[in-house]
């Protein structure tokens, strides 16, 4: 037995963070460990060195293990394009769009895909830490489940159930999940893990003891709430309007002499929302998600991020009056991927890849370029770690390129298809010096490194887990 599954009572219970911390903790012990998520639903994705596409959370977990991201770690990815349909990505490649109903028809095949991918990792690694998807208690989906008890059954995995106590009701979540699943699935639950706990643990203890009497399952760890935790968001739940992006708490780099305000437009179908996070690792750069035109007017920098539904999000932009503010700005504005495409002259989609009509859609007209959607998705990983994931291609381009021969630059307006470009510290700092107001100077502190900050956060999670979960006992239980 060299694998186990970390499931969550609910979405956003913290299982991605717990898996990342476990990966980091075991890797630091010298264990050859790998992450695995059979099926992910997220528009935050990464292009891997082997030319595929996986969820951003699995790329972070791979980093925790000291590994490059790989399609083996997330063989099935769903990228929502609307409330009813998602793009299905298998082994890193898009295979078409599916609805919630017809996706069920694919699941028999996808269960085989997931099982085979996990089996391959188990042959190669000492330990594989699997992450579930959503809640494992969705009994209406159990028959065709790919990522939770379906995977645990197929691969004979023990299951550890994570619950978010910060939202309240965690004991009921544990008990309800335990009771509603089948007896066979219930027997796989080997421990509960309370996540995001604040306060006196002794007050919680009687509840945990009663829970153990009722279920026969012990609570193996009570993980405290980590103040200022800052890791890659798995989905748009962590990119809500008004949310401030970036690290906080003790030990952070000092604030620069002059701050720089960044307004990131919270599109309805925002993708790769993590692009703006690299800006936030710079001391004095204050990044906030917004959908308010007033916030865009005086921001030192506006970022129009990627979108999984560029045409409909462009229509939304216009309905809010955000387009007029962006076009009239005299301060720097950056468009990334879908945001860049919106800033061009027009968008056409003759194959119906995204838009309901093949008629040209007028863009914001900031860049004299035409975007044409192609059925085949562009997946490129650049040498500095930046990557491209897009169906829209730039044609009839009449602008000055921005990054090498890619992107566009006109005055204070910048556009690129490259995600993760701002994570490259030297590039980010040089660009901020170019566009920032007088008095702002990017920090030379080692703390102002995106990659360094991610590793620091991973170590923080691992340290917390090591202190509150007996990992020696966990390993012994797998023997």
Domain boundaries, the chain: 3-230+454-478, 253-446
> What does the alpha-carbon distance between residue 438 and residue 433 come to, in Å, rounded to a whole number?
9
Spacing of C-alpha 360 from chain mean position? 32
What is the topology classification, in CATH, of domain 253-446? Rossmann fold (3.40.50)
pLDDT in tens, 151-168: 999 999 999 999 999 989
pLDDT band per the 50, 70, 90 thresholds, residue 232: confident
CB 307, CB 338: distance < 8 Å: yes
3-230+454-478: CATH architecture: 3-Layer(aba) Sandwich (3.40)
Active site residue 419: yes
pLDDT in tens, 186-202: 999 999 999 999 999 99
pLDDT band per the 50, 70, 90 thresholds, residue 184: very high
> Which range among 139-148, 327-336, 438-447 shows the weakest confidence by mean pLDDT?
438-447
Q: What length does the chain have? A: 479
Q: Residue 447: count other Cβ atoms within 10 Å of its Cβ.
A: 16
Going by C-alpha positions, the residue among 42, 118, 104, 32 that lies closest to residue 75 is 118
pLDDT band per the 50, 70, 90 thresholds, residue 447: low
pLDDT in tens, 367-403: 999 999 998 999 999 999 999 999 999 998 999 999 9
Which of these is catalytic: 106, 173, 286, 419?
419
pLDDT for the residue numbered 295: 95
Same fold? 3-230+454-478, 253-446: yes
> What does the alpha-carbon distance between residue 208 and residue 200 come to, in Å, rounded to a whole number?
13
pLDDT for the residue numbered 40: 93
| pLDDT at residue 235 tops 80 | no
pLDDT for the residue numbered 240: 76
pLDDT in tens, 293-331: 999 998 999 999 999 899 999 999 999 999 999 999 999
Give me the chain's average pLDDT, please. Answer: 91
pLDDT for the residue numbered 67: 98
Spacing of C-alpha 479 from chain mean position? 32
pLDDT for the residue numbered 252: 47
> Which range among 72-86, 324-338, 412-426, 450-464 shows the weakest confidence by mean pLDDT?
72-86
Which of these is catalytic: 337, 391, 397, 417?
337
What is the pTM for the complete model shown?
Answer: 0.91
What is the token pair recorded at 452? 């360094």
Between 23 and 356, the higher pLDDT residue: 23
């Amino acid at each position: 037995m060299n694998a186990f599954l970390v499931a969550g009572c609910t979405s956003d219970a913290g299982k991605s963070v717990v898996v990342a911390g476990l990966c980091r903790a075991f890797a630091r012990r010298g264990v050859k460990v790998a992450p695995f998520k059979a099926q992910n639903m997220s528009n935050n994705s990464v292009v891997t060195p082997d030319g595929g596409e996986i969820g951003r959370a699995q790329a972070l977990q791979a980093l925790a293990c000291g590994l490059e991201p790989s399609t083996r770690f997330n063989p099935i990815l769903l990228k929502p394009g609307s409330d009813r349909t998602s793009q299905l990505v298998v082994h890193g490649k898009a295979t078409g769009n599916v609805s919630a109903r017809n996706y069920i028809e694919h699941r028999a095949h996808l269960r085989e895909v997931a099982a085979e991918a996990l089996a391959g990792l188990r042959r190669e690694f000492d330990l594989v830490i699997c992450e579930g998807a959503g809640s494992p208690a969705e009994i209406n989906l159990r028959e065709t489940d790919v990522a939770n008890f379906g995977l645990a059954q197929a691969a004979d995995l023990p299951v550890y159930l994570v619950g978010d106590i910060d939202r309240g009701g965690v004991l009921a979540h544990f008990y309800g999940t335990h009771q509603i699943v089948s007896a066979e699935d219930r027997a796989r639950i080997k421990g509960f893990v309370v996540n995001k706990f604040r306060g006196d643990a002794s007050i919680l203890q009687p509840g945990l003891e009663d829970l153990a009497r009722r279920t026969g399952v012990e609570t193996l760890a009570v993980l405290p709430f980590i103040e200022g935790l800052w890791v890659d968001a798995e989905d748009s739940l962590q990119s809500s309007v008004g949310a401030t992006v970036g690290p906080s708490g003790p030990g952070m780099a000092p604030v620069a002499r002059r701050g720089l305000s960044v307004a990131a437009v919270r599109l309805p179908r925002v993708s790769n929302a993590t692009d703006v996070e690299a800006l936030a690792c710079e001391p004095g750069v204050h990044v906030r998600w917004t959908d308010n035109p007033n916030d865009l007017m005086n921001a030192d920098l506006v970022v129009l991020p990627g979108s999984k539904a560029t045409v409909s999000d462009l229509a939304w932009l216009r309905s809010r009056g955000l387009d007029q503010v962006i076009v009239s700005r005299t301060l720097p504005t950056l468009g990334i991927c879908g945001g860049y495409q919106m800033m061009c002259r027009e968008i056409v989609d003759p194959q119906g890849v995204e838009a309901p009509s093949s008629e040209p859609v007028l863009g914001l007209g900031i860049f004299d370029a035409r975007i044409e959607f192609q059925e085949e998705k562009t997946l490129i990983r650049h040498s500095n770690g930046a990557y491209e994931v897009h169906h829209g291609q730039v044609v009839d381009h009449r602008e000055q390129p921005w990054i090498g021969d890619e992107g566009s630059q006109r005055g204070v307006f910048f556009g690129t298809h490259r995600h993760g470009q701002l994570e490259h510290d030297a590039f980010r700092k040089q660009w901020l010096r170019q566009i920032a107001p007088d008095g702002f100077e990017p920090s030379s502190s080692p703390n102002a490194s995106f990659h360094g900050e991610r590793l620091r956060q991973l170590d923080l999670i691992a340290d917390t887990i090591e202190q509150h979960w007996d990992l020696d006992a966990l390993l012994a239980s797998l023997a």
